[in-house]
Amino acid sequence: MTLSNQMDLLYATIDEISGMYRRKEVSPVEVMKATLERLDEVEPQLNAFITVLAEQSLVEAKKAEEIFRKGEAAGKLTGIPISLKDIFSTKGIRTSMGSRILKDFVPEEDAYVYKALREAGAILFGKTNMLEFAFGFVHPDYGQTNNPWNVKRVAGGSSTGSGASVSAGIGYASIGTDTGGSIRAPGSFCGIIGLKPTYDLIPRTGCFPLSDTLDHVGLLTRTVKDNAIILEAISLQRFHYESIFTGDIDGVKVGIIRSLTDNVADPQIKSIVLAAIAKLGDLGAELLDVSVPFIENAEQIAIPILLSEASKHHAKWYEDRELDYSASTFANLKAGYDISAVAYLAALEQRRVLTEAVSEILTKVDVLVCPTFSFAATEKDPSFEQGNFDISSRTIPFNLTGHPALTVSAGNTISEPLPVGLEIIGRHLDESMVYRVAYAFEAATGGFKRPPL
């Protein structure tokens, strides 16, 4: 296999790889070996993985190869290499949470998503780097994950390694978590598809919690259809995803959240996003300006919920393990203990009001859109210290409301270039419409662009 052919293989879609398996044009073992070779090649620059399961994944690939050799029944994910954020329990496999405290933790049970992926035939080949306990900061023991578009910039957190690896052609999907934008950030920064589905559409069993109210399990892929294929396998709701991908959005009502779109300070980012929204109009969508009450206050609503719930989950270590946390993570845990029950309950009530407001608007439009972030990948992960959640002003509202939200690459800045994300938000349990709009845009704009790495 030549290098160019190997790269084409690594960047193929899940459907393409699955079809090649069935036609015996390539084997799961060959694909797994190519994936591991790509990982070895670029990992020194990316720092995307905490644990690599080379031997185990090759054994599983051999089993998948036998399934295709014998012509046995196989699903779309049979033999497909996939990674997991290192926040999901994997029986017998270290699960560190990107922390020093759990650096040697080996669970006795599997997380729901790992079980579901295995049952679908997917092969886990690695567990990805992440911000410490998914709380917004890199622990120095693990170091920053870098962006394949520019390794001097971050991949986006907290699902850092998941975004960087998928963008770099290391595996066909990665499962992450999103509490305030932690899937949509690496999706936007790395130029791939990142979906935070409807709250609890994917069970969180076996996923270490940050905030029970805001945590979502989601997924990162290079194409919209790949994303739907994975969601179909691991979510509680089944849908016929094939019918979604017609490219037709004629008459679909798209609500532009003006307060989150017009206030982007960087003219280059704003221009890219507005052009992407205009493209939806060119494709036949009806573009409507909308105003979402209270959405500008989303960070202030989320902070008491996130910080206090996170501190609860760390109570057993808080008194004795301060020096094992990164200083910034511990500062946030400390802040969580200063939040009163009154403030927490008031935030939950405000969350209910915001959820109702978003749901009401989504009775009048089919999806909402806005920039995913007002900036491209930065040199360091943006800081959440001292309650500064302004960086997530366009993502965290939908963690509060639980609506599905997907980021698709709107284009690249000219100066670097670096990807810029367009966020598409849908009704509860209407991932199908979100996918439909995202796919039409993806198809019209040429889809995933390979990074230079």
Instruction: List, by residue number, the catalytic residues.
Output: 85, 158, 182
Q: Which residues contact 181 (CB under 8 A, 6 or more apart)?
A: 372, 373, 391, 392, 394, 395, 396, 399
Place of tokens 């960086």: 391
Determine the angle formed by the axes of helices 224-234 and 112-119, rounding to 10 degrees.
Answer: 100
Closest CA to 88 of 238, 215, 223: 215
Closest CA to 122 of 204, 232, 27, 230: 230
Cα(382)–Cα(387) distance, integer angstroms: 12
Cα(220)–Cα(194) distance, integer angstroms: 5
Q: What is the DSSP string of 113-126?
A: HHHHHHHTT-EEEE
Cα(180)–Cα(135) distance, integer angstroms: 10
**Cα dihedral angle (259, 261, 226, 418), rounded to 10 degrees?**
-140
Closest CA to 367 of 408, 423, 411, 293: 423
Determine the angle formed by the axes of helices 327-336 and 298-313, rounding to 10 degrees.
Answer: 100
